[in-house]
């Protein structure tokens, strides 16, 4: 048996390949939309893809399951559990609790494990060539290393009311009836790691065991002792702010992600061709370093630095539901531009027209910054903290307003348009992205706090301590 993790740090998301070398078959679980990655991996192991499977309707990224199944001509297996509000709306093979997927000598038992979402499935895997005992549990967003999947995402991101409590109760039952009944030696392979907004305390290691979680997980004693109220209150407390693009991801993944197919080469623009068009009939993504962006910015451009969090930052800045304008990215060549286009598709940002290799003639000098000691000299300034609500409560600048960067573009009307705005995060990266969003949406006096909150503290400026 072959079990391989395919992990992305940007989304803190895990896909899996399970292969039976004897039968020459493989399946992929929870793929992203860069489907060539998975096809190359299957080919590398000299296997044939026989199926694609998903654990649940994802809210944090655009699923590649439909794309991969279509490209490879294999069945796509999706959950048929949950009520009508949680049914996939496009053709697939349906899975319910107790079903089994066979892959040569490998047996994959389907378990309905609701809580994070009502239709959620987990997969208990037995390597029949070695033993009749199950050995691996692919838990999706049900159980993480040191944590469990949050049940409040749809309350937070889509405005639903109090689904979190029913979800917490379902999660408690799933842990009690399915997870804690498994032998201690079972390996647990989750769909997310540290940095994901799908939980609040995810571990930074890729796997755990049932026995380890039984001993050390914060929830284990409560579930064993039947403390549903304690479990619910602890689970729901201090969850990170859910980015509001999650509602769009959940909807499109349920209805069926658009099929990308073979994508054409990117159109190449000269800087002069973009003059007068940035933030008018197109969106320009400035992908340089934060230092380069601050030293010589492009008016109206969105700052989305190329790097480990490229897709995540772009999802904060661009909402393809409300803004259909084509996107041009700053990229050195066709290869880098295509890499960026692929990454943007991970959160459903598909309207990428082309790239520009230089910003010559488009830039307008440095951006305004405010030193911590000078903040009080900015008349009537609004200090905008784009960290999470939890970080804001832990320590903040007196009088600051908190609006998580994942919500800023969707709730920008909450930011006054008639006052100077000084933006900060913890160290400065998210603040630079947030400030560009504000400028692109018409705020004319937007500045960034030098060093952000970390710089404020290091400068000895007054802070409001953590709430007791």
pLDDT value at 240 more than 90: no
Which uninterrupted H or E stretch holds 338?
helix 334-345
Residue ending a domain, among 255, 287, 317, is 255
- Condensed to tens digits (0 to 9), the pLDDT of residues 405-428 reads 999 999 999 999 999 999 999 999
What's the CATH number where 113 sits?
A: 3.60.15.10
Looking at the fold, whether 275 and 190 belong to one and the same domain comes out as: no
Structure tokens of 331?
Answer: 């990229």
260: in domain: no
**Domain limits for position 56:** 2-255
Looking at the fold, whether 192 and 331 belong to one and the same domain comes out as: no
Looking at the fold, whether 250 and 273 belong to one and the same domain comes out as: no
Looking at the fold, whether 338 and 379 belong to one and the same domain comes out as: no
33: in domain: yes
Looking at the fold, whether 198 and 285 belong to one and the same domain comes out as: no
**pLDDT given at position 160:** 57
Looking at the fold, whether 386 and 334 belong to one and the same domain comes out as: no
Residue ending a domain, among 332, 356, 380, is 356
pLDDT above 90 as % of the chain: 90
Which uninterrupted H or E stretch holds 49?
strand 48-53
**pLDDT given at position 200:** 73
**pLDDT given at position 153:** 79
Looking at the fold, whether 39 and 179 belong to one and the same domain comes out as: yes
262: in domain: no
* Rounded average pLDDT over 321-333: 96
What's the CATH number where 440 sits?
A: 3.40.250.10
The answer to whether 189 touches 16, Cβ cutoff 8 Å, is yes
Whole-prediction pTM: 0.94
> Could you tell me the sign of the dihedral formed by the alpha carbons of 168, 173, 175, 179, in that order?
negative
CA–CA distances in Å: residue 386 to residues 200, 280, 407, 408, 452: 18, 26, 9, 8, 10
The answer to whether 435 touches 423, Cβ cutoff 8 Å, is yes
- Name the pLDDT band for 468 (thresholds 50, 70, 90): very low
387: in domain: yes
Looking at the fold, whether 145 and 244 belong to one and the same domain comes out as: yes
Main-chain phi, psi angles of 219, to 5 degrees: -90, -15
The string of DSSP letters for 243-262 reads PTHHHHHHHHHHH-PPP--S
* Rounded average pLDDT over 232-238: 93
404: in domain: yes
* Rounded average pLDDT over 317-333: 96
Residue ending a domain, among 356, 379, 412, is 356
Instruction: Report the distance separating Cα 168 and Cα 221, nearest Å.
Output: 16
- Condensed to tens digits (0 to 9), the pLDDT of residues 251-302 reads 999 999 999 998 999 999 999 999 999 999 999 999 999 999 999 999 999 9
Cβ-count burial 96-128 (b if 16+ within 10 Å, e if not):
eeebebebbebbbbbbbbbbbbbbbbbbbbbbb
**Residue written as token pair 């803190």:** 12
Neighbouring C-beta atoms of residue 78, cutoff 10 Å:
28
**pLDDT given at position 203:** 74
Instruction: Report the distance separating Cα 23 and Cα 81, nearest Å.
Output: 30
362: in domain: no
Q: Which of 281, 260, 287, 269 is nearest to 334 (CA)?
A: 269
The number of residues in the chain equals 468
Residue that wins the pLDDT comparison between 154 and 228 = 228
The answer to whether 279 touches 301, Cβ cutoff 8 Å, is yes
pLDDT value at 309 more than 80: yes
Neighbouring C-beta atoms of residue 73, cutoff 10 Å:
7
SS3 396: strand
Looking at the fold, whether 274 and 404 belong to one and the same domain comes out as: no
**pLDDT given at position 202:** 77
Instruction: Report the distance separating Cα 431 and Cα 420, nearest Å.
Output: 15
**pLDDT given at position 156:** 65
**Residue written as token pair 């295509």:** 338
Query: DSSP assignment, residue 375?
Result: G
Count of the separate structural domains present in the chain: 3
Looking at the fold, whether 213 and 322 belong to one and the same domain comes out as: no
Structure tokens of 405?
Answer: 């960067």
- Name the pLDDT band for 163 (thresholds 50, 70, 90): confident
61: in domain: yes
E strands, 143-282, are: 143-144, 147-148, 187-190, 208-209, 267-268
Looking at the fold, whether 457 and 327 belong to one and the same domain comes out as: no
**pLDDT given at position 301:** 98
Pairing label, strands 106-112, 100-103? antiparallel
pLDDT value at 84 more than 50: yes
316: in domain: yes
Looking at the fold, whether 237 and 318 belong to one and the same domain comes out as: no
Query: DSSP assignment, residue 148?
Result: E
**pLDDT given at position 242:** 85
Instruction: Report the distance separating Cα 289 and Cα 309, nearest Å.
Output: 13
Mean pLDDT for all residues in the chain: 95
Instruction: Report the distance separating Cα 316 and Cα 294, nearest Å.
Output: 19
Neighbouring C-beta atoms of residue 209, cutoff 10 Å:
17
E strands, 264-392, are: 267-268, 283-286, 302-303, 327-330, 352-356, 369-370, 382-385
């Amino acid at each position: 048996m072959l079990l391989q993790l395919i992990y992305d740090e940007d989304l803190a998301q895990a896909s899996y390949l399970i292969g039976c070398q004897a039968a020459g078959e493989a399946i992929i679980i929870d793929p992203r939309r860069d489907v060539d990655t998975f096809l190359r991996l299957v080919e590398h192991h000299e296997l044939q893809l026989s199926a694609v499977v998903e654990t649940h309707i994802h809210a944090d990224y655009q699923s590649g399951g439909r794309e991969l199944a279509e490209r490879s001509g294999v069945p796509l297996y999706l959950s048929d559990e949950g009520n009508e509000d949680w049914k996939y709306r496009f053709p697939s093979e349906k899975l319910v609790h107790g079903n089994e997927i066979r892959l040569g000598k490998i047996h994959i038992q389907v378990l309905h494990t609701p809580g994070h979402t009502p239709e959620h499935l987990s997969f208990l895997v037995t390597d029949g060539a070695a033993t009749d005992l199950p050995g691996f549990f692919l838990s999706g967003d049900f159980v993480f290393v040191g944590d469990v999947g949050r049940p409040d995402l749809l309350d937070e991101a889509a405005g639903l009311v109090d689904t979190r409590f029913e979800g917490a109760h379902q999660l408690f039952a799933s842990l009690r009836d399915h997870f804690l009944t498994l032998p201690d030696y079972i390996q647990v392979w989750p769909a997310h790691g540290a940095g994901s907004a799908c939980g609040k305390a995810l571990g930074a290691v890729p796997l755990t065991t049932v026995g380890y979680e039984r001993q050390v997980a914060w929830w284990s004693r409560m579930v064993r002792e039947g403390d549903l109220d304690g479990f619910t209150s602890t689970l729901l407390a201090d969850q990170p702010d859910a980015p509001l693009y999650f509602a769009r991801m959940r909807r499109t993944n349920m209805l069926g992600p658009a099929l990308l197919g073979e994508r054409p080469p990117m159109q190449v623009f000269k800087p002069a061709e973009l003059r007068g068009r940035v933030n008018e009939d197109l969106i320009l993504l400035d992908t340089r370093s934060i230092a380069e962006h601050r030293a010589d910015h492009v008016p109206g451009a969105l700052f989305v630095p190329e790097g480990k969090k490229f897709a995540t930052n772009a999802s904060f800045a661009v909402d393809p539901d409300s803004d259909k304008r084509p996107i041009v990215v700053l990229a050195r060549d066709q290869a880098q531009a295509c890499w960026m286009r692929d990454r943007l598709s991970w959160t459903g940002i598909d309207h990428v027209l082309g790239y520009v290799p230089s910003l010559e003639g488009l830039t307008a000098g440095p951006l305004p910054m405010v030193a911590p000691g000078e903040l009080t000299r900015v008349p009537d300034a609004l200090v905008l903290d784009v960290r999470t609500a939890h970080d804001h409560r832990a320590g903040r600048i007196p009088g600051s307003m908190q609006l998580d960067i994942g919500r800023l573009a969707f709730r920008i009307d909450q930011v006054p348009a008639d006052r100077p705005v000084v933006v900060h995060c913890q160290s400065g990266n998210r603040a630079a992205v947030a400030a560009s969003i504000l400028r692109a949406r018409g705020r004319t006096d937007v500045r960034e706090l030098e060093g952000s909150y970390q710089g404020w503290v290091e400068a000895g400026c007054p802070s409001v301590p953590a709430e007791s």
